[in-house]
């Protein structure tokens, strides 16, 4: 698995990656929070796919199997679990954003509300 990137990356590194390859072109920003959380605060361009729905909806992201995916949640715990699960399913470029959308709000875009 040496060709896979680290399982986690910082919010600042995620922002850099998004600037380099903005969604929906070459990078999928996947929000694994609940619809209620997504309604409270979201990152522009993120696809909402709640963690609990992922097993039955994974086919929706099948085209991303060989392309970068950055998963985020509120603080980074759920997204880490999702990124690990995605790698087990063959999505070897899946990564989790450390600190979640909370870190995004403090380190990248203060306009995104904290909750």
- Beta bridge partners, 30, equal 47, 71
Mean confidence (pLDDT) of the chain:
94
The predicted-structure confidence for 45-101, as pLDDT tens digits, reads as follows 999 999 999 999 999 999 999 999 999 999 999 999 999 999 999 999 999 999 999
Nearest of 34, 37, 39 to residue 54 by alpha carbon: 34
DSSP conformation letters of 34-81: -HHHHHH---TTPEE--GGGHHHHGGGGGGGTTS-EEEE-SSSHHHHH
Nearest partner of 97 among 66, 113, 74, judged by Cα = 74
Give the per-residue pLDDT at 1.
43
**pTM of the predicted structure, to 2 decimals:** 0.93
Instruction: Write out pLDDT tens, residues 20-36.
Output: 876 666 899 999 999 99
Alpha carbon of residue 115 to chain centroid: 18
Domains of the chain: 8-107 (3.40.250.10)
């Amino acid at each position: 698995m040496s060709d896979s990137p680290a399982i986690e990356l910082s919010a600042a590194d995620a922002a850099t990656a998004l600037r380099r390859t903005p969604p929906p072109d070459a990078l999928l920003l996947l929000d694994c929070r609940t619809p209620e959380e997504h309604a409270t605060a979201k990152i522009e361009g993120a696809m909402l796919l709640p963690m609990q729905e992922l097993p039955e909806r994974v086919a929706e992201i099948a085209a991303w199997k060989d392309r970068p995916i950055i998963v985020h949640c509120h603080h980074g715990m759920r997204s880490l679990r999702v990124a690990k699960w995605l790698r087990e399913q063959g999505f070897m470029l899946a990564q989790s954003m450390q600190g979640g959308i909370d870190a995004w709000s403090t380190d990248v875009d203060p306009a995104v509300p904290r909750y």
